[in-house]
Chain A
């Protein structure tokens, strides 16, 4: 035994002090009475005392000494050593998606966690615990932790990740611990049937059934929405039935499968085990003029893993709805190209009708005109501006008329933004008849030049909106006739109307990608569990790894408007397997049994309780004495 805080024993100095005080204060008071006869007779009536009651006279002193001793011991915190009882434990806990398969009332993950708790609780104090958690990544949660409660608390804090991962990734960690101490007890807690060497496998797998929707998509037909998908049964053949929800409301659906080149309507889909089976579900389109936001396909059959029984599809077009206004006397070219390369609603107005106070558009196109001030709430395309526009980033230096059509050329650049704008171009030969020489006073990415002068360049306005500038008149150029015109405009549209979410269906473990506009103030991502993350806004693309199965809601605040997007993360199909063979989990070396001394330091609790009992007893005794006075 040793004391964790030996200075606490200084409290024992109180013992001789109490004894001295007791001797000084607790003397017999001498008094004279008329006769001691009655007192002598009273002795006969005093009940025979048990030997222990002879200590009663010293009770006060004994209790005080005990109280001082107990308090001193509690402060000193005694720790008792148990020879060779303590071990080093290293747990590897599988937190991959398959661990969420149910085993009775609990999941495999919960079962595994309880197994670890039992081992920790039954181990000797003084043992050390290390936990390696294999989830979305493999990480050491704690190492050589001696505090049991803390070890269990941190274990409880772990949450399952639905990412596909393998406990084999943890070998590098456990090998290290095992090499440091070859007596380390390594436990592998997983539902994969690994063979082990110098480790113990805690197999939490169980027999169960699991069905899943592997993938799905939708297309419009004449008056239907046709959902195509693949379903899977992991253990046995099954007849699966489905239901479909459109924007949360259950819709009547028709199940069809292809048989002998014919589409046949069925009540249930027969799925052979471990075979992907195609299905088609048809639901009615929404009413004319309306569109849906999301479709949810659900397997109605019950199984051990519910999270892969449904699948959501999102109508991305409905999420990315933009408005563009073209201010031009001759809007044909621009209107045509916008209709071709974007889904935006296009409005056309003349320069005379356009008022700079007009707002609410996602794109403003000024063709051969110059507004008195630039709108602040949308992207700007400027063609052939022949007057200075405040805050445009350029000034007019000279109008240049070329004697004959001259070729404009792509600027040679390796910058990422340049590559982005010229992506897909084929190097068409383009000519112009004249242009306006602009002096740039802000940073732009120049794409096309003539004689070193920028003729097509992009950048940001002073208010942070995206800006595309053409310094020549489209009507005085053959650019609109080239293949690169459409590609460039497509890139400009993507730049001006960047799709915040490029992809709406992911697999857990993949990274969600969000295109960040300069106007974005915040990007909030709410996971299916309700956890909220905020993504970076000072980068072109914000990413976040998806670790949960289900619907993520992305809310983008651009100051003037708030837009919401949704993506669906499905369980990796491999994680839906009920039985999965593992590899050899081998820790090299020879296992030894050199355990360290265990420690038992819970005694102070008992001592503290005894102390409280003694003190309470003491108080009662003193109260009785007080009453006698």
Chain B
């Protein structure tokens, strides 16, 4: 089943964007992200006295002429990061018209493309039940992007998701870029531990909560017995009236605010996306405003 197609026009609009990292970059190889360590970029950082074994090409001879001491000229290092994108592939993400899944994959592809354009590596993982499957590993370069990104269409949205139990055993990296978690987070299962893990590994965190209109404004009225699409053992039996709907709206507010607070407390970012969210507006206006990209 094809969920999305590459929109080259849109990708051209976002390719000048750059993911802003807040944590110290601990990556290797040359990238476009400035590390807090000194390296070989063109941006001057500081001087220090020469020590034996230092690269003599870095000696500032003008400073030697003035102070008759050898000083090395230091520059900021620019390093390559790995953007890790985790996609919740539970059944709820593709329930009904499936537009939540489409939006989730569009988000993943766009974040991947922006990272690729920043000379970063991109890995995309699929979370399903209690495991994580690597869908795309260390994708680098646009050609590789165009070759591999359509693998997203192979994701089979089925079953339940245990985000924390899935991610905790995996290698999530350390201080080397963004961990982007795309899910509806409509699960009683724990996901806080996973976010804590990202935080402890000094990963930049971005949580994208994708919710459909049916979830935000339910159409159910009267006496209903609701079955959970992921697990039919989970049911909800109620006479849906005005009071219940009011409580439902409060519950949505509670869930989204809880997510936002959790992310912010871990130094991460949160955004709520619906299938109707305009991607141009999101990436060219909202995310720059949130200082996620520039």
B225 at the interface (CB under 8 A from A): yes
Are the CB atoms of B187 and A37 closer together than 8 Å? yes
A34 at the interface (CB under 8 A from B): yes
A441 at the interface (CB under 8 A from B): no
B64 at the interface (CB under 8 A from A): no
B241 at the interface (CB under 8 A from A): yes
30 interchain pairs (CB within 8 A)? A27-B223, A28-B224, A28-B225, A29-B224, A31-B227, A33-B95, A33-B220, A34-B214, A36-B234, A36-B236, A37-B186, A37-B187, A38-B252, A38-B255, A39-B226, A39-B248, A39-B251, A41-B255, A42-B244, A42-B248, A42-B251, A43-B247, A44-B247, A44-B251, A44-B254, A45-B251, A57-B239, A625-B241, A628-B221, A629-B221
* Known contacts A34-B186, A34-B215, A34-B229; A39 and B236 CB within 8 A of each other: yes
Secondary structure call for the B interface: mixed
Q: Which residues of A contact B55 (CB under 8 A)?
A: none
In the complex, what's the smallest C-beta–C-beta distance from A141 to chain B, in angstroms?
61
Q: Which residues of B contact A34 (CB under 8 A)?
A: 91-92, 95-96, 100, 184, 186, 212, 214-215, 229
User: A9 vs B101: C-alpha distance in the bound complex, in angstroms?
Assistant: 62
The A-B contact count (CB < 8 A) is: 111
A222 at the interface (CB under 8 A from B): no
Scoring B residues 92 to 105 as 1 if CB is less than 8 Å from chain A, else 0, what string do you get?
10011000100000
| Residues of A in contact with B (beta carbons under 8 Å apart) | 26-47, 57, 624-625, 628-629
B143 at the interface (CB under 8 A from A): no
Q: Which residues of B contact A628 (CB under 8 A)?
A: 221-222, 240-242, 245
Are the CB atoms of B188 and A28 closer together than 8 Å? no
Are the CB atoms of A40 and B252 closer together than 8 Å? no
User: A31 vs B96: C-alpha distance in the bound complex, in angstroms?
Assistant: 12
User: A43 vs B238: C-alpha distance in the bound complex, in angstroms?
Assistant: 10
User: A168 vs B228: C-alpha distance in the bound complex, in angstroms?
Assistant: 94
B281 at the interface (CB under 8 A from A): no
B237 at the interface (CB under 8 A from A): yes
Are the CB atoms of B243 and A40 closer together than 8 Å? no
B2 at the interface (CB under 8 A from A): no
* Known contacts A30-B227, A33-B227, A33-B229; A38 and B243 CB within 8 A of each other: no
Are the CB atoms of B188 and A40 closer together than 8 Å? yes
Q: Which residues of B contact A625 (CB under 8 A)?
A: 222, 241
- Closest chain B residue to A628 by CB distance? B221
Q: Which residues of A contact B91 (CB under 8 A)?
A: 34
B60 at the interface (CB under 8 A from A): no
Size of interface on B: residues with Cβ below 8 Å to A: 45
- Closest chain B residue to A40 by CB distance? B236
Q: Which residues of A contact B212 (CB under 8 A)?
A: 34
B196 at the interface (CB under 8 A from A): no
Q: Which residues of A contact B221 (CB under 8 A)?
A: 628-629
User: A625 vs B235: C-alpha distance in the bound complex, in angstroms?
Assistant: 24
Q: Which 9 A-B pairs have the closest CB atoms?
A: A45-B247, A35-B186, A34-B95, A41-B251, A42-B251, A34-B92, A42-B247, A45-B250, A39-B236
User: A38 vs B255: C-alpha distance in the bound complex, in angstroms?
Assistant: 8
Q: Which residues of A contact B250 (CB under 8 A)?
A: 42, 45
User: A236 vs B101: C-alpha distance in the bound complex, in angstroms?
Assistant: 114
User: A41 vs B255: C-alpha distance in the bound complex, in angstroms?
Assistant: 8
- Closest chain B residue to A27 by CB distance? B223
Are the CB atoms of A36 and B252 closer together than 8 Å? no
User: A44 vs B255: C-alpha distance in the bound complex, in angstroms?
Assistant: 12
In the complex, what's the smallest C-beta–C-beta distance from B171 to chain A, in angstroms?
29
Q: Which residues of B contact A32 (CB under 8 A)?
A: 95, 226-229, 232
* Known contacts A29-B224, A31-B227, A46-B244; A38 and B214 CB within 8 A of each other: no
B230 at the interface (CB under 8 A from A): yes
- Closest chain B residue to A53 by CB distance? B243
- Closest chain B residue to A624 by CB distance? B242
Which positions 201-224 of chain B face chain A at CB distance < 8 Å?
Answer: 212, 214-215, 218, 220-224
User: A57 vs B246: C-alpha distance in the bound complex, in angstroms?
Assistant: 17
Q: Which residues of A contact B225 (CB under 8 A)?
A: 28-31
In the complex, what's the smallest C-beta–C-beta distance from A305 to chain B, in angstroms?
73
Among B238, B240, B241, B254, point to the contact of A41 (Cβ < 8 A).
B254
In the complex, what's the smallest C-beta–C-beta distance from A609 to chain B, in angstroms?
28
User: A42 vs B254: C-alpha distance in the bound complex, in angstroms?
Assistant: 9
